[in-house]
Chain A
Amino acid sequence: MTDTASGEGRHGALPALLWKIIKIFASVALTFLGLLLVTFLIGRVVPVDPVLAVVGDRASQSVYDRVFIELGLDKPLYEQFWIYLQKILSGDLGTSFLTKKPIVEDIARVFPATLELATVAIIIGTAFGIPLGVLAAVRQGKLSDQIVRVVGLIGYSAPIFWLGLLGLLIFYARLHWVAGPGRIDISYEYAITPRTGLMLWDSAMQGQWDAFRNALSHIILPAALLGYYSLAYISRMTRSFMLAELAQEYIITARVKGVAEWRIIWVHALRNAAVPLVTVIALSYAGLLEGSVLTETVFAWPGLGQYLTNSLQNADMNAVLGGTLVIGAIFVGLNLLSDLLYTLLDPRVRRR
């Protein structure tokens, strides 16, 4: 069986790999096209008149008609989609009515804030969520399992803005353990040159350790909160995946071999549970990258969530659609990444 498989690999390794990459790219391109179609159609069906958004509601009929034609709204829908597609592919998401800047520039400004927050949050959520889930599975039904479950339930159900305000009250206002809202103190804001827009990264790269510490003390509270939220989900899923794995026959084999219990849990079972966990973590991360409106509002965090809410409230359709597109692209990208990791972690899917 494997003889033929490896023989095939030896003769046709490059074409097979190439074929796989082509297949992946084709599916990504197709998904992205569908995404573009959806955002395009949303832009046409929402009751926001794109012409009025440009000319204002006091323009004369002749001005209105001219802009109507300028925007290409007189053309058939498929032609409009084609124009839209060309613009997007050349990196033009249009101009924001609100900030008067290209959407691409706006998103490039707000997205790093969200990316930084989401990344720190998912690291916290994974680093604590997986061990807690494993603990709960191993001590199924015991006190520690119940505690993990309650902690998870609170993380899942407590309103995050409430936890945020409470956290600010305790850790910032009373205890002064962390810095308050915002990404960094004003005194440091111009000390670091924005390269990537990620405060922690930029300050560390430029050796501005005071600024780094300050940015860290700003991010830690919102990141811990969002991390807690994803921890709740990750620990729950870890628990159920681990319970399923621990009931498998190969666990009995390992016990028969006299393998130490910690090794059975952390090497045998977790290594198998990690396969579906990758998807769970990737999707949690994608969710965080959408930008969480409430957290960003409470912590005055200038991220994607705040930007999109603001745009939506002001009927800035170009910005909303541009942001939706970016979020969609992130989802597609992370799905692809988790698929690739899946293949790495599970030898059974490699051949398919």
Chain B
Amino acid sequence: MTLLAVDNLTVTYPSRQGPQSVVRNVSFTLGRERLGIVGESGSGKSQTGRAILGLTPLPGRATADRLEFDGIDLRAASPRDWRALRGARMSMVMQDPKFSLNPVMTIGRQLAEAARRVASGRADARDRAVAMLEAVQIRDPARVMAAYPHELSGGMGQRAMIAMMLITEPDLLIADEPTSALDVTVQIEVLRILDDLVTQRGMGLIFISHDLRLVSSFCDRVLVMYAGRVVEELRAADLAQAQHPYTRGLMGCLPRIDADQRPLPTLQRDEAWAR
């Protein structure tokens, strides 16, 4: 079953040299599965995620031949439609809880704001918030509810963020580098929590990362983006059989613990890939 269908998505920003496209003709479909999008900085992976949520910052513009979420044409969605969809049916976990949480609001209030979409009242919203914090394995939800974002560690903050985004049980979650700002040890924990919740709830997940190895172990399918284009789409298990020289180049640059690769190869780029 198709949850999300994207056809020829293009995101364009005006610039002095004329319009610049940061995402170019990206097409893919997503069921209730995990899709990884990998690419280097500026490859357009985050812009793709934001365009799906209708959050392309002005003066940018996102256009597509088809942008459908569960049969709803997102291109024709009014601001009211978007508000009804966002949070409730599709949401996004961002990179760094230090910036993505409101610094002057307690976690509890920020959670309740999301919970109110589905809760019957204030008390119910609070109960749901506590339950959700427990679901992301926060042991003392009462304290975290009363805490301000700066009082939490990065891992705790990101769990709170995940709780906030999943509290309405959306059908689609976009995770934009959800663990890049965290310590390596914490990364694994947060990923496991995300993994469990996504599996339990049967959501569609778009996992955006620059970490090829992480994506291939975590996702069912992988899109490799370069300069705003999808250069290769393949099953995560088949990553070793990648055809595109960029993907192969990326793979070649990964250091291996059992092989002495000196010097580590650098990534070779070809102008033609960007065209």
Contacts and interface: CB of A to CB of B under 8 A. Distances in A.
Interface of A: 1-2, 5, 248-250, 252-261, 268, 271-272, 275, 345-348
A5 B148 CA distance: 13
B62 interface: no
Given A1-B153, A249-B94, A256-B55, 5 more contacts: A1-B151, A259-B113, A346-B104, A347-B150, A348-B148
Nearest to A261: B79
B98 to A, nearest CB: 9
B150 A258 contact: no
Contacts of B103: 250, 272, 346-348
B101 A253 contact: yes
Contacts of B84: 258
B269 interface: no
Nearest to A268: B102
Given A252-B55, A346-B104, A257 B151 contact: no
A347 B148 contact: yes
Contacts of B117: 257-258
B83 A258 contact: yes
B104 A249 contact: no
Contact of B87 (A248, A252, A256): A256
25 contacts: A1-B152, A1-B153, A2-B147, A253-B100, A253-B102, A254-B102, A255-B55, A256-B53, A257-B87, A257-B117, A257-B165, A258-B83, A258-B85, A258-B114, A259-B113, A261-B79, A271-B102, A271-B104, A271-B105, A275-B104, A347-B104, A347-B148, A347-B150, A348-B103, A348-B148
Nearest to A5: B151
Interface in B93-109: 94, 96, 99-105
Interface string B145-176: 00110111100000001001100000000000
B114 to A, nearest CB: 5
Interface residues of B, number: 35
B91 interface: yes
Contacts of A1: 151-153
B66 interface: no
A interface majority secondary structure: helix
Contacts of B87: 256-259
B101 A250 contact: yes
B85 to A, nearest CB: 7
Interface of B: 50, 53, 55, 79, 82-88, 91-92, 94, 96, 99-105, 113-114, 117, 143, 147-148, 150-153, 161, 164-165
B113 A257 contact: yes
A328 B94 CA distance: 48
A268 B114 CA distance: 14
Contact of B91 (A256, A260, A272): A256
Contact of A2 (B50, B104, B143, B164): B143
B201 to A, nearest CB: 17
Contacts of B100: 249-250, 252-253
Contacts of B96: 249
Contacts of B152: 1-2
B8 to A, nearest CB: 24
A257 B87 CA distance: 4
Contact of A257 (B86, B147, B150): B86
A256 B92 contact: yes
A347 B147 CA distance: 10
A259 B152 CA distance: 23
Contacts of B102: 250, 253-254, 268, 271-272
- Complex A-B, nearest 9 residue pairs according to Cβ-Cβ distance, in ascending order: A258-B87, A249-B99, A347-B148, A258-B86, A257-B87, A250-B102, A2-B151, A249-B100, A257-B114
A252 B47 CA distance: 13
A261 B92 CA distance: 18
Contact of A250 (B91, B99, B143): B99
Most chain B beta-carbon contacts within 10 A, residue among A256, A347, A348: A256
Nearest to A271: B104
A219 to B, nearest CB: 35
Most chain B beta-carbon contacts within 10 A, residue among A261, A272, A347: A347
A260 B113 CA distance: 10
A180 to B, nearest CB: 46
Contacts of B79: 261
Contacts of B113: 254, 257, 259
A87 B105 CA distance: 49
Nearest to B53: A256
A259 B91 CA distance: 12
Contacts of B101: 250, 253
B87 to A, nearest CB: 3
B193 to A, nearest CB: 18
A258 to B, nearest CB: 3
A248 B102 CA distance: 9
A73 to B, nearest CB: 56
Contacts of A268: 102, 105
Contacts of B151: 1-2, 5, 347
